[in-house]
A and B are shown apart, each in its own frame.
Chain A
Amino acid sequence: AQKVTQAQTEISVVEKEDVTLDCVYETRDTTYYLFWYKQPPSGELVFLIRRNSFDEQNEISGRYSWNFQKSTSSFNFTITASQVVDSAVYFCALSEGQGGSEKLVFGKGTKLTVNP
């Protein structure tokens, strides 16, 4: 069965610190997709990134970077030089299968607080 574990329930950092959010997943499928979503205090869910199981290249987008390691079933998310606006709950999610959008299984989320 699919499962996503975000062991860190809450993280608090001071602005400009780097922070890494951990995500470990379980799946029996060889084809799957991993996602990160951000949920700011306003409540909406904002898509950040999608990676497929065949692409282990790390990705960087501005201050955000993602490290995907199949060997450890992890898909960690790092924010460099954090800012107060990064304060949110971050969800890691997993989707299996092919053929179009499929259901997501979410982790419990990590609440990040960036203090000025």
Chain B
Amino acid sequence: DARVTQTPRHKVTEMGQEVTMRCQPILGHNTVFWYRQTMMQGLELLAYFRNRAPLDDSGMPKDRFSAEMPDATLATLKIQPSEPRDSAVYFCASGPPRVSYEQYFGPGTRLTVT
């Protein structure tokens, strides 16, 4: 049963620290998404990649957030420096190359910045 994996599942850090979240998409999926979920904003897209190339990162605060895909099996989302308002659940999702639009979500990383 193929799944998207995310690490860490929980992260507590102090304001100003760097945070790195990792995502392993389902093998064979060529599109990777990063979403953030907060009580106030709900689920919002931060960035997404196709074939490792960034397609849209307009939802991401550029001054502190960065997203990369070093290879087809790993996507990373970094926050530097982190702020309390970054506290949220960060979901990674992956989608297959066929025209199906089904996105499969990972379990999420719950980030708390104190």
The chain A residues found within 8 Å of chain B, CB to CB, are 33, 35, 37, 43-47, 50, 91, 95, 98-109
Contact = CB atoms under 8 A, between A and B. Distances in A.
Contacts of B54: none
Interface of B: 29-31, 33, 35, 42-45, 48, 50, 56, 89, 91, 93, 95-108, 110
Given A101-B96, A103-B48, 8 more contacts: A43-B108, A45-B91, A99-B99, A100-B97, A103-B45, A106-B43, A106-B44, A109-B43
Contacts, number: 63
A51 to B, nearest CB: 10
Nearest to B48: A103
Residue of B31, B42, B45 with most chain A CB atoms under a 10 A cut-off? B42
B95 A101 contact: yes
A40 B38 CA distance: 16
Residue of A95, A102, A108 with most chain B CB atoms under a 10 A cut-off? A102
Contact of B103 (A47, A99, A105): A47
Given A100-B95, A100-B97, A91 B45 contact: no
Nearest to A106: B43
B105 A95 contact: no
B58 to A, nearest CB: 10
Given A101-B96, A101-B102, A43 B48 contact: no
A108 B37 CA distance: 10
A110 to B, nearest CB: 11
Contact of A43 (B30, B33, B45, B89): B89
B95 to A, nearest CB: 3
Contacts of B101: 33, 35, 50, 95, 100-102
A15 B109 CA distance: 32
Contacts of B106: 44
